[in-house]
Amino acid sequence: MKTSTLSVILCFLAGIFVNAVSIDKRQSRGSLQQVTGWTPNPTNVGMYVYIPNNLASSPGLILAIHYCQGSAQAYYTGSPYAQLAEEYGFIVIYPNSPHSGSCWDVSSEATLTHNGGGDSNSIANMVGYAVSTWGVNSAKVYVTGSSSGAMMTNVLSATYPELFKAASVYSGVPAGCFVSSTNQVDAWNSTCALGDQIDTPAQWGNVVRAMYAGYSGARPKMLIWHGTADTTLYPQNYFETMKQWTNVFGYNYNAPESLQVNDPQSEYNTTTYGPNVVGVYAQGVGHTVPIHGTQDMEWFGFA
Ligand SMILES: *[C@@H]1O[C@H](CO)[C@@H](O)[C@H](O)[C@H]1NC(C)=O
Ligand SMILES: *[C@@H]1O[C@H](CO)[C@@H](O)[C@H](O)[C@H]1NC(C)=O
């Protein structure tokens, strides 16, 4: 082999090495990347990130949280947030459940308490990591999820209200509704799932306030989606969740500001209590309410 050929090969290999190091440091853009080595991560939640090619300066951040049997990868491909990130320039983080069956722990005392060391704590810590590592604007942080991810969205909104400006909840249950009376991690709660846990707005509001006792700052505004034909997390959970957040924001649950029929589409009703609590109830829709990216972008203030 000629010396010149050898040096070309060596330069080529050195180039790959340098590239690999720099990509690892800044996270490559336009694809789903696993993030390792971030701390503290008390329950070993996985962290995946999508940084758009079209990254805004001082970008926003959406946490997009998957359903049971789902994964960060599945929610990345099955939800519109990565495409919307290219349009609006925000970053998306997809947490990945550490539990078998890949539901989220929304039942233990740890996860239902601010800085309690549960899944919610691990996910909340991703926000600080994103702010310090990628320059995320901490005033533009949002959370959304479906099913178990929707339950976690309500839990995060209750336990870390200081982190989030707004939340969009697809087919969940009220924060604290899935609590385990025996403090089990990642437990199923049939009473709640079946819509049999019926409380007053004040009772549900107290559950939220107890999750971060003494907190009196701002809280994320809540957009709640649910289908009338949900046989996994029964539709009563829509009404219980609305009771909860209207109470937290001081609205009268029995006196919404407006009801828009066939909004944002045919067979969907939008009930507005005020700027901080809006519910969308979808006639004939089952457990999977399709993610409404356009409405979420408006709710989060990107559009
Ligand atoms: C289910 O949740 C309710 C609160 O929503 C709670 O009172 C009940 O004890 C829980 N059930 C179990 C089996 O832990
Ligand atoms: C929407 O509101 C109309 C008018 O009150 C009502 O007839 C219909 O049942 C509602 N649909 C849902 C899904 O709540």
Of 106, 108, 178, 179, the one to substitute when testing ligand 1's pocket (max ligand atoms within 8 A of C-beta) is 179
Q: What is the pLDDT of residues 72-110, one digit of tens each?
A: 999 999 999 999 999 999 999 999 999 999 999 999 999
Number of domains in the chain: 1
In a domain, 4, yes or no: no
Clarify whether 147 is annotated catalytic: yes
Mean pLDDT for the stretch of residues 168-192: 98
SS3 per-residue string spanning 10-78: HHHHHHHHHHHHHHHHHCCCCCEEEECCCCCCCCCCEEEEECCCCCCCCCCEEEEECCCCCCHHHHHHH
CATH code of the domain in which 261 resides: 3.40.50.1820
Cβ–ligand 1 contact at 179 (below 6 Å): yes
Catalytic residue of the set 147, 157, 168, 171: 147
pLDDT: is 27 or 237 the higher one? 237
In a domain, 251, yes or no: yes
In a domain, 255, yes or no: yes
| Index of the ligand 1 atom closest to the CA of residue 176 | 5
Q: What is the pLDDT of residues 16-61, one digit of tens each?
A: 443 333 333 467 999 999 999 999 999 999 999 999 999 999 999 9
In a domain, 23, yes or no: no
pLDDT over threshold 90, residue 10:
no
Q: Note whether 244 and 206 are within 8 A (CB).
A: no
Distance CA 75, CA 185 (A): 23
In a domain, 204, yes or no: yes
Distance CA 95, CA 68 (A): 12
Distance CA 208, CA 53 (A): 38
In a domain, 245, yes or no: yes
Mean pLDDT for the stretch of residues 206-213: 98
Cβ–ligand 1 contact at 236 (below 6 Å): no
In a domain, 268, yes or no: yes
Q: Which amino acid is at 25?
A: K
Percent of the chain's residues with pLDDT above 90:
91
pLDDT of 21 reads: 35
Confidence of residue 123 (pLDDT cuts 50, 70, 90): very high
In a domain, 24, yes or no: no
pLDDT of 200 reads: 99
Domain residue limits at 274:
35-300
Distance CA 241, CA 118 (A): 22
